[in-house]
Amino acid sequence: MEGASNQERVSTQAIPTAAAPALFSGAGRLTDSHGRAITDLRVSVTDRCNYRCVYCRTGTDGAQYSELPLADYLRIIRVFVSLGIEKVRLTGGEPLLRRDLTSLIREVAQLRTSYAADSSPFDGAGGDSRHSARGGSSNLDIAVTTNGHLLAAQAQSLRDAGLSRVTVSMDAVDPEVFARITRVPGSYDRVLAGVRAAQAAGLGPVKVNCVLLRGFNDDQIVAFVHFARTEGVILRFIEFMPLEEDRIWSPDTVIGYDELKARLNAVRPLVPLPGNAPGETAQRFTFDDGIGEIGIIAPVSRAFCGACSRVRLTSDGKIRTCLFSQTDHDLYSVLHRGGSDDDLAAYIRNVIAQKEARHHIGEPGFLKPSRSMVHIGG
Ligand code: SF4
């Protein structure tokens, strides 16, 4: 896999457009046993990647899990949306390697209208206003997380297909450091062109996610702030989590919330911003002159599990209820055995009921998750 060119190998089969799943009886939106509403689905459509970022991949293991036909992801997404999912994020590996990703986005975007017509399973069943009045999820938010290498060529078609937003993973703004991290020469210029193309296509403000590692790229903090203010992107610094393929994580490599905030304040005084939505993972800031937005996502030093609204589907159709789960739940086998939409929904509800309360990073007995980040999808 890793030897393959950046030009992807994918199936080009058309996506059969079956009707939306019938409404499900049952008790309203997906909620776990800790009372958290699960509204945010992340779907990995491949675990192949055209980068080999040193803190994520060992560089030797290629893709390890299969991919489903896009029609299967679409069916699964439809069932999740009919259970109250409001945000669908497509991830990978590198999702833009799936050539027909735009057709999947186009079909998922259809859910914004198809549910608008139907009466909603949430009518009066504890659903919120957006659902009860106009059906399932008329303003379904569809996003992609990408490394940006293929974005410049695809930004407009992704937007035209119905994509709402794009998040680009960048861990440096110095071309040499960038190439050293990704192990792909010339990658910085490609990604910068992708960010600009996405802004131009109306997918802005583009979010840029940077995973910070001490002694590795934390010397990029100042340059990143200037980059974000100049390019008009929303910058998110993310604490390094023990999700890598290799075993390089240690508490010492983490730039914690308080330290990072102090280092940003030294660049220019920070001004806190209110959260965008419940369950948002970032602490948002602008600067004293109002230019730029920076977020700090601190799952290690300031865990936010209490408001977690996320569930993930891996590229091979397994549900992961937490990034740090020790188990996968094989939803695809239900579909593959000919299960109905009701069967899929029942399976999903049952799995969500088992969702972990939180991660245990840094605690005695903490176990690394059964899959690394590239095989989960972020
Ligand atoms: S660690 Fe698990 S429970 Fe905590 S926020 Fe992340 S996915 Fe949710």
**Contact assessment for residue 146 and residue 171, using Cβ atoms and an 8 Å cutoff:** no
Determine the pLDDT at residue 280.
Answer: 86
pLDDT at 24: 55
Tokens of 170: 């960048």
Question: H helices of the chain, where?
Answer: 70-82, 101-117, 129-134, 151-161, 175-182, 187-200, 221-231, 257-267, 331-336, 341-352
Among 358, 363, 371, 373, residue to substitute to test ligand 1 (most atoms within 8 Å of Cβ): 358
Side-chain half-sphere CA neighbours of 25 within 13 A: 0
What is the pLDDT at residue 25? 54
pLDDT of residue 137: 56
At 134-158, the pLDDT tens digits run 444 568 999 999 999 999 999 999 9
Angle at CA 356, nearest 5°, toward 249 and 24? 135
Report the length, in residues, of the chain: 378
Quick one: pLDDT at residue 26? Answer: 55
- Rounded-to-integer distance, Cα 336 and Cα 66, Å: 14
Q: Which residue among 302, 311, 322 is best mutated to probe the pocket of ligand 1, counting the most ligand atoms within 8 A of its Cβ? A: 322
Task: Determine the residue of 324, 354, 360, 370 to mutate for testing ligand 1's pocket, defined as the one with the most ligand atoms within 8 A of the Cβ atom.
Answer: 324
Question: Dihedral (C-alpha) 375, 339, 139, 315: value to the nearest 10 degrees?
Answer: 10
Which residue is closest in CA terms to ligand 1's atom 1? 359
Nearest-angstrom CA–CA distance, 168 and 143: 11
Token representation of residue 131 = 């659902």
pLDDT of the chain, 378 residues: tens digit per residue: 333 333 333 334 444 444 444 445 556 899 999 999 999 999 999 999 999 888 888 656 677 899 999 999 999 999 999 999 999 999 999 999 999 899 999 999 999 865 444 444 434 444 444 444 444 456 899 999 999 999 999 999 999 999 999 999 999 999 999 999 999 999 999 999 999 999 999 998 899 999 999 999 999 999 999 999 999 999 999 999 998 877 678 999 999 999 999 999 999 999 999 988 877 899 999 999 999 999 999 999 999 999 999 999 999 999 999 999 999 999 999 999 999 999 999 999 999 999 999 999 989 989 888 898 888 987
Query: Strands of 141-146's sheet, edge to edge?
Result: 270-272, 283-287, 293-297, 234-239, 207-212, 165-169, 141-146, 87-91, 40-44, 310-313, 318-320, 329-330
Q: Please give the distance, rounded to the nearest whole angstrom, from the Cα atom of residue 364 to the centre of ligand 1.
A: 18
**pLDDT confidence of residue 370:** 84
CB atoms within 10 A of CB 1: 12
User: What is the model's pTM?
Assistant: 0.87
Distance 268 CA to ligand 1 centre (A): 31
Cα(178) to ligand 1 centroid in Å equals 28
- The Cα 291–Cα 270 span in angstroms is 10
- CA–centroid distance, residue 325 to ligand 1 (Å): 9
Q: pLDDT (tens digit, 9 = 90+) per residue, 58-76?
A: 656 677 899 999 999 999 9
Q: Of 238, 266, 275, 268, nearest to 254 (Cα)?
A: 238
The dihedral region occupied by 292, where left means phi > 0, alpha psi between -120 and 50, and beta the remainder, is: left
* C-alpha to C-alpha distance for 98 and 275, rounded to whole angstroms: 33
The CA distance from 316 to 69, in Å, is 10
DSSP 8-class letter at 273: -
Domain 6-375 sits in which CATH superfamily? Aldolase class I (3.20.20.70)
Among the listed residues 159, 192, 162, 158, the one whose alpha carbon sits nearest the alpha carbon of residue 174: 192
Residue with tokens 């407009």: 156
Q: Pick the closest to residue 44 from 320, 357, 334, 352 (CA basis).
A: 320
**Chain position carrying tokens 């308080």:** 258
Ligand 1 atom closest to residue 308's alpha carbon, by position in its atom list: 8
Q: How far apart are CA 297 and CA 209, in angstroms?
A: 9
